[in-house]
Chains A and B, each alone.
Chain A
């Protein structure tokens, strides 16, 4: 039964009740009052039922889509949001380490290239200034030959490391999907909670309940120096700095 239909029923009952009372039919009037009660209970039961069902659905729907065979094995092990978020940490950590491995592996290679090239350049300059003996020149051509071979090998290695760094960024896709799902669940839960709160306030209105809200308001006052993690919207906040220059300015104003 829709809400409108319930409302219509209530109006109907109320009218009947007035008619019955005016005509002095107390017995029938009592019966109508009890129908009114039932009608109200029914609305509440239905609302609670609906909400429970949608909450249950949203939790059940949160099982990851295992139709993708690649992800099936890995994903089927994960049953809840915190597992999923741990998976995100794990993936990003692995990718960061892989990237740093590649960078650490590449740095000495490019340093070696630079060093050898710069040594050759100074010898080459001597040749250009005609300061080189024929014997030194023969040595130099050998060195240049060696360098050209190394340069090919080493730049191939740099290339392959760079492409591995590129591939290590695939975590963005996988973690993005997982995070999107978590966001979706949070939204669904939030929506359902809002519905619950709305319904609770309706119940309060019907029953005339009043709550002491002073306690809940206190909770919003957080510890001003408690850790908060990265600030995602520094431009929208007055109490945070947005870059290192701001930090330096603040510290120097304190006499640092």
Chain B
């Protein structure tokens, strides 16, 4: 299981990386915004994408749309982990095809639940 973590704050990437390691996912890579994440996603074989929304350069919602528009990546499971909490934004992300949405600040438990739920669905 190879996971890409995209967030512009290195501390948040580190927190997510640590939580993932506790959940047994040790194969992770990091990117600091959508435009550096997209080439990584295209050139490598990630199984899962965790992205923030608000980032300089390319935002998470644009990254999600780009992933869904790409032939190779369109079925990649995407979890949004973000402080963006407007109803319209959540609806927008859902319509763009996000697989899960976690609002910051989050608990280890919330992240774990969402990740497990996503994989249950992907496996089903």
Contact = CB atoms under 8 A, between A and B. Distances in A.
Contact of B90 (A227, A230, A251): A251
A240 B15 CA distance: 25
Contacts, number: 69
21 contacts: A93-B9, A93-B11, A96-B11, A225-B89, A227-B53, A227-B54, A227-B59, A228-B54, A228-B86, A229-B54, A229-B84, A230-B104, A239-B88, A240-B86, A241-B103, A242-B85, A243-B103, A244-B102, A247-B102, A251-B94, A256-B94
A244 B103 contact: yes
- Across the A-B interface, give the 4 residue pairs with the lowest CB-CB distance, nearest first: A227-B54, A96-B11, A230-B83, A224-B88
Nearest to A256: B94
A93 B85 CA distance: 23
B48 interface: no
Nearest to A242: B85
Contacts of B84: 227-229
A198 interface: no
A161 to B, nearest CB: 15
Given A100-B15, A244-B103, A247-B103, A231 B88 contact: no
A97 interface: yes
Nearest to A92: B11
A254 B94 contact: yes
Contacts of B10: 93, 97
Interface of B: 9-11, 14-15, 18, 53-54, 59, 61, 83-92, 94, 101-104, 106, 110
A250 B85 CA distance: 11
Q: Which of B11, B94, B103 has the most CB of A within 10 A?
A: B103
Interface string A90-107: 000100110010001000
A234 interface: yes
Nearest to B80: A247
A236 to B, nearest CB: 13
Q: Which of B15, B85, B89, B92 has the most CB of A within 10 A?
A: B85
A225 B90 CA distance: 9
Contacts of B14: 96-97, 100
A241 to B, nearest CB: 5
Contacts of A240: 85-87
